[in-house]
Structure 1
Amino acid sequence: RQGLRVAVVCYSRGLAEWMKRRVAGFGHKDRPDFVGTFHTLGEQWGVHVDSPNEDRDYWIRDLPRAIADAAAHQPETSRYDALIIDEAQDFAPEWWPTALAVLSHEDSHLHVFSDAGQRVFDRESQAPEGLVPIHLKQNIRNTRQISQTFNTLGEDGLRAAAFDGEDVRFVEATHDTAREVADDLIDGLLEEGWQPADIALLTTGRRHPVHDDAIAGQTQEEHDAYWDSFWDGDDIFFGHVNGFKGLERPVAVLALNEKPGRDQARERLYVGLSRARDLLVVVGSSAQIEDIAGPAVRRKITGD
C-alpha cells in the first residue's frame, strides 16, 4: 500500500507454495512483487535453478552468488524496497550477502522470522547486525495438549496454547518399525471420522515409500506434482519433517524412524511435534525420545 516493491522468501518449497497460494487472493496493492524460495529469487533476472542439481556447493555458494551478481546489474527499481524472510534459521551464512544484494538501497527494509529451535539443517547462520528482535511468547497454532509437548524445546520457551483439544496419543515402537506402525494407524483415524485430507504422516528418518515414489526422478515436475498433492486436499499427505516446516494439518502422525544419535534430532522432534493443529499421534521409542529431549518431554508425549 505504500508503493514499496516487496519480496517474500523462505527455503522450503512447500512453505513457498503455501505463501504463493495465500497471497494470490490479495488485492493488487496488497500483493508482494515476489513470493517463492530463496533460490528462485533470481529467475526474474535470468538466473534459473539448474534442477536437478545435487552439488551442495551449487545451492550453498554458486547459485546465491549468481543471484547477487544479477541483482548488482539491475536498476534500483528492479530490486526490492523490502525483503521478508521466513524460517530464516534454515539460511546458510553464505546467503545473507545475497539477501542484502537484492535490496534497492541502504534504507530498504529487512524482516526476518526465525526459530533456532527448528534448525533441522546443520547450518550455523547469523542474521545481519542491526535487526531489532521481537519475540513470540505464546503458541497460537496448536492445542494446549499438543503445544505442551514441545514448548520447552525452543530457545525461548513458548507459553502453551490457551485452547483445549484431544490428548496426544503415543504408540511405542522401535525406530525400525515406527513407519510401518504409523501406517497401520491411518485406518483407525479414518474410522473416527477424520478425512484423508486432514492427515499428514511425517517421518524423521527415511522418507515414506509413497513420498519416495512421488519424487523418484528428482525432477522439478515431480516435486511440483508432489506439493500439488498437499494442496489438492483430497488425500493423506506423506512427508518428511525437514520439508514440512511452516506447514500444518489437523492431524499429524509422527513416525520417529531415524536411527539414534543423529545430529539435529532434537530440532526434528520439535518440528514434528508442532505440525498438528488438533490431534498429534507420535509413534516411536520412549527411550529414544528421552535421550533426545529429556525425561520431562518424554512424559508429556507418552503421558506417563
Structure 2
Amino acid sequence: MAYMIPETIRSSATAGERLLFRTMKQVLPDDVIVYYEPEIHGRRPDFVLIGPDFGMVVLEVKDYTRNTLYQLNRDEWTLLTSAGTHATVKSPMLQAKEYMFHIKNVLEKDKALVHLEGKYQFKLKFPCGFGTVFTRLHEQDMVKDHLYSVLDPERTFTRDAIDPDQEGFSGEEFIEKIHALSSMTFPLREPLGRQEIDSIRYHLFPEVRISAEFREPVPYKDQLLLSLRDLKAMDLHQENLAKQLGDKNRLIRGVAGSGKTLVLASRAKLLAREHSEWKILILCYNISLSRSIESLVRRMMNEPDSLFDFDLADGQKRKVIPGTGNILVRNFHAWLRNDLKISEKQIPYYLSKLDHGEAVLPSYDAILIDEGQDFEPEWFRLVSSLLNPETKSLLLVEDRAQSIYKRKRSYVQDTGLDFRGRSKVLNINYRNTAQIVSFAWDFYREHSTLKNKVVTKEFEGEIIAPQSTKRNGYEPGIIRRKDFLEEAAFVARQIRLLHEQRHIPLSGMLILYRVRKWGGHDYVDALQKALEKENLPSYWLTETPESKRNYDRNAEAVTISTIDSSKGLDFRAVFIVHIDLLPLPLEKDEEREASLLYIAMTRAQEYLCLTYSGESAYTRYFAAIAEERKQHLVRGRMS
C-alpha cells in the first residue's frame, strides 16, 4: 500500500482523480510516496510519485470524454465545452512533460542528487518520467479515434489500466507501466536511499524542512550546485499530518519527541501562505518554549520556497519577511499583558463582558496552542472567544504525560468546539534514542498515578505510550557521588569531554535542576563554579524572566535551567542533577513530580545522565537499575 500525502483525497476532487488515488494507494508498494496536487514552486501537477525503484514520475489526470475532444495535435487540444463553445488548452502530455522538467531542473542543482563526473555529469542520479491518465476513455476509444497519433501509448493510461473493476485490469501491469515511465530515459542502477528521498522531498516541498542552514550558492565546475550536509526533513507521518489537518478545530495528541511543535509550526506556515490576510496566533505556557517556537517559525517563514532560485537580477536580494510575518508567537501571560492589556485575574470579568458583547479585544483568524495540557479551562474559553467564528481554525497540541499542572478539562466545555473525530495521534518518538525512550517511559509507568490510564492505540484514555524510532545510542548514565559539589564537578568534566572528544557544541548541552536552593545550598552557584573551573561558559536560562526572553539557543554556552522551563526544548546531551530532591519533599502532587522527571529525561537526544548524592524514592529506583546493570556486566564477563 503506497504512502499517500495527503492521506485522504479532498471531496472536491474529480471522480477520476479519486479512482486513481484509491488504485495507487492499494496497488503500489509500501515504499512509494504519492503526492496529490502538491504545490511545487508555483506549479500544481495532479500526482507526483517518488519510489526507490523507479525515481520520480509526474502524472496528469484528465476526465475528458470522447464527445469533449474536438481537434487535437501534439501541442494543443481544442475541447468542446458544456456550453457549446470551444476552448484550446495545452496537450495533457506536454503539460505533464513540462511539470516533470520543471521539477528535474530544480533537483539538478543539488550536488547530492547528481552525477559529478562521467557521461551524465550534472544530471540526476535517478530517472524522471511523466504520463497522462484518461479516466473516462477506454483502450478501444484510443484506437477508434486514432488518439495515439497525438499521444505516446507507453505514457498513456486509460480507464482499463487504472480501474480494478474493469475485466482487463492487472495490478502487476499497472506497477510495471509506472516503472516504465521513468526507465525510458535510463534505468535506475541502484535503488534510491532514504537520504536521497528526503533530499527530493526537502527541495520540492519547503514545508517539510526543519532547520537546515541556508547558504548562498557557490560555483561548482561552472554549475551552481548546492549540497546541504545537515539535511533535515519532516517524517512522512508528520508531513501528512501537517497537510491533512484541514480546516476548523483540530486536536493533536503526541508523545514527547514526536514532533508536535514541528507540526504546529508547519501548520502555521501553511495557513500564513494560504491566507496572507489572516491574523494567526501561536500560544504556549512557558517563556522559553515560546522563544523556541518563535525562532522555528522565523526560520520557516524566511526560508526561500526554492533554495535554487538564482534568477534574481544583479544586486537584487531575496525578500526577507520581518520577524514571523502575520504569525504572532506568545506565551500565554505575555499575550495577556502585551496584546490584550489585561491580567489573569481579570479573565472572568472579560469573559462576562465578551458574552454580552460589551468588550473589545483583538480577534484572530487562526489560533494554535502548544502544550495544551498546561492550559486552564478559563484560558481556553478566553482564547476560543477571540477566534473568528467564520474560520473556527483552532489547533490544540498536547501530551498528558507531560502535564505538570492539575488542570481538569473538557475541551467541548472549555472551547465550545467538538473534537470528536477531529483528533490525530503522534506516537513515534523521533527525538530520543531507543535507550532513552525506554528508560524514561519505564520510569513514568512505574511512578505515575495515571499509569492505569495508559493506552497504546486509537484515541481513548489519558496517556499515549511512545513508540521508539530504531535510532540506538548509549544507556542513560546513573551516577552517585558523595555530595553535590562532586556531582557538579563530575558533570562539568563530562561536558568538557563530550565537547572535546565527541565534538558536541556547548549549545547542545543542558543541565537541569529541580530547585535552586535547598538546605542552605545554592546548587546553581555550585554548577556555575564547576563549569568555570573547566573553562566552560554557561547561560542560566531561568535566572530571571528577562533571561528567558533573551535566551539565544545558538550561543556557545552550556544551558542551565529548571526542569519546568525545559518543556518543548531538546539538546544532544542532558544532565539532570540532584535527583535525590525528586520527588520534592514539600510537593504533595506525586503526578507532577513523575511528569517533571519524565519531561527532563525526554529532553535528551543522544546522551542522558542522572546524578545524585542523597536518597529518595526515585534514587532507590535508579540505584536498583544501576545494580542490575552491574550484575549483568559481571555475568557477561564470567560467561
Q: Percent identity?
A: 17
Map of 1:81 onto structure 2: 365
Report whether the alignment pairs 1:24 with 2:269: no
3-state SS of paired residue (1:104): coil
Superimposed CA distance per residue, residues 2-41 of structure 1 (whole angstroms, 9 cap, x where no aligned partner): 2132111100000001111122231459844311111222
Question: Comparing 23-32 with 160-169, which one deviates more in the overlay?
Answer: 23-32
The one of the two structures with greater contact order (alpha-carbon pairs below 8 A, sep at least 6) is 1
- 1:209 aligned onto 2:209: no
Identify the range of structure 1 (103-112 vs 82-91) with the bigger mean alpha-carbon deviation. Answer: 103-112
* Offset of residue 249 of structure 1: 1.2
Per the alignment, do residues 279 and 259 of structure 1 end up closer, same or farther by CA in structure 2, a change over 3 Å counting?
closer
Q: Is the 8 A contact 2:540 2:559 kept in 1?
A: no
What does residue 597 of structure 2 align with? 269
Q: Give 1:63 deviation, angstroms.
A: 5.3
Change (3 A) 1:140 1:232: closer
Structure 1 residues 214 and 277, CA gap change in structure 2 (3 angstroms): closer
Q: Does 1:40 align with 2:334?
A: yes
SS in 1 for 2:545: helix
Question: Cα–Cα, structure 1 residues 44 and 14, in superposed 2: closer, same or farther, change >3 Å?
Answer: closer
Q: Which has the larger radius of gyration?
A: 2
CA offsets per residue over residues 164-218 of structure 1, 9 Å max, x none?
Answer: 12221111359xx4586145322233124243222110012446425999689x8
Change (3 A) 1:74 1:267: same
Q: What are the Cα deviations for residues 152-172 of structure 1, in whole angstroms up to 9, with x where unaligned?
A: 537221012211122211113
Q: Is contact 1:45–1:70 with CA below 8 Å preserved after alignment? A: no
Name the CA distance, whole Å, in 2 between partners of 1:118 and 1:179.
30
Cα distance change, pair 188–46 in 1 and its aligned pair in 2 (3 A): closer
User: 2:491 is aligned with what amino acid?
Assistant: L
- Give the CA deviation at 1:231: 2.0
Deviates more, 1:183-192 or 1:269-278: 183-192
SS in 2 for 1:185: helix
2:610 and 2:549 map into 1 onto residues whose CA distance is 23
| CA contact 2:374–2:405 (8 Å) conserved in 1 | yes
Question: What's the CA shift for 1:143?
Answer: 1.2
Deviation digits for residues 52-96 of structure 1 (CA, Å, limit 9, x no counterpart): xxxxxx64x435755996896448xx5112111001111122211
Give the alignment partner of residue 195 of structure 1, picking from 492, 499, 505. 505
Partner residue of 1:93?
377
The correspondence for 1:108, drawn from 385, 388, 392, is 392
* Equivalence for 2:467: 159
Q: Rate the CA distance shift 1:250–1:32 in 2: closer, same or farther, 3 A.
A: farther
The 1:280/1:42 distance shift into structure 2, 3 A limit, reads same
1:251–1:280 Cα contact (<8 Å) kept: yes
Deviation readout 1:131-157 (Å, 9 max, x if unpaired): 222111210111111111123537221
The answer to whether residue 438 in structure 2 is matched with residue 148 in structure 1 is: yes
Structure 2 residue matching 1:149: 3-state secondary structure: helix
Correspondence for 1:244: 566
For the aligned residue pairs, the C-alpha RMSD in angstroms reads 3.7
The separation in 2 between residues aligned to 1:110 and 1:121, in whole angstroms, is 22
Would the alpha carbon gap of residues 37 and 69 (structure 1) be closer, same or farther in structure 2, given more than 3 Å must change?
farther
Q: What is the DSSP-based 3-state SS (H/G/I as helix, E as strand, rest coil) of the residue aligned with 1:24?
A: helix
Is the CA contact (8 Å cut-off) linking 1:80 and 1:108 kept in structure 2? no
1:289 Cα deviation after fit: 2.3
Amino acid at match of 1:95: W
Q: Tell me if structure 2 keeps the 8 A contact 1:200–1:238.
A: yes
* Aligned equivalent of 1:53: none
2:418 aligns with one of 108, 116, 130: 130
Corresponding letter in the other structure for 1:188: Q
Unaligned runs of 5+ in 1: 49-57
SS in 2 for 1:41: helix
Q: How high is the TM-score relative to the length of structure 1?
A: 0.77
Structure 1's 286 and 209: CA in aligned 2 closer, same or farther, altered over 3 A? closer
CA 1:303–1:157 in 2, change beyond 3 Å: closer, same or farther? farther
* Total equivalences in the alignment: 283
C-alpha separation between the residues in 1 aligned to 2:434 and 2:627? 13
- Does the 8 Å CA contact 2:436/2:608 hold for their aligned counterparts? yes
6 and 37 in structure 1: CA distance in 2 versus 1, 3 angstrom threshold: same
Measure, in 1, the Cα distance between the counterparts of 2:604 and 2:552. Answer: 15
Alignment partner of 1:299 is 2:634: no
Question: 8 Å contact 1:68–1:98 — kept in the other structure?
Answer: no
Deviates more, 1:257-266 or 1:109-118: 257-266
Q: Give secondary structure in 2 for the equivalent of 1:80.
A: coil
Structure 2 equivalent of residue 278 of structure 1: 606
Of 79-88 and 182-191, the range deviating more from structure 2: 182-191
1:55 match: none
Counterpart for residue 405 of structure 2: 121
State the match for 1:181 in structure 2.
Answer: 487
3-state SS in 1 of match to 2:598: helix
Residue aligning to 1:233: 555
- After the TM superposition, which of the residue ranges 252-261 and 89-98 deviates more from structure 2? 252-261
Q: After alignment, is 250-259 or 146-155 more displaced?
A: 146-155
**Aligned partners of 1:146, 1:215: CA distance in 2, in Å?**
24
Instruction: Answer yes or no: is the 8 Å Cα contact 2:582–2:616 preserved in 1.
Output: no
1:287: how far off? 6.0
Distance 1:179 1:86, change over 3 A: farther
Q: Which runs of 5+ in 2 are unaligned?
A: 1-272, 303-320, 445-453, 455-462, 518-522, 529-538, 631-639
Residues 541 and 559 of structure 2 are in contact (CA less than 8 Å); yes or no, is this contact kept in structure 1? no
**CA separation of 1:46 and 1:80: change in aligned 2, threshold 3 A:** closer
- Encode CA deviations 1:94-145: one digit per residue, 9 max, x unaligned: 2111111220216411111111111112333443351222111210111111
Question: CA 1:65 to 1:180, structure 2 compared with 1: closer, same or farther past 3 Å?
Answer: farther
Within the alignment, does 1:288 sit opposite 2:617 as a pair?
A: yes
SS at match of 1:231: coil
- Any idea what SS the aligned residue of 2:367 has? strand
Alignment partner, residue 13 of structure 1? 287
Provide, for residues 208-237 of structure 1, a one-character-per-residue CA deviation record: whole Å limited to 9, x for no partner. 425999689x8xxx4233453452421111
Question: 2: CA distance between counterparts of 1:114 and 1:98?
Answer: 18
Counterpart code for 2:559: F
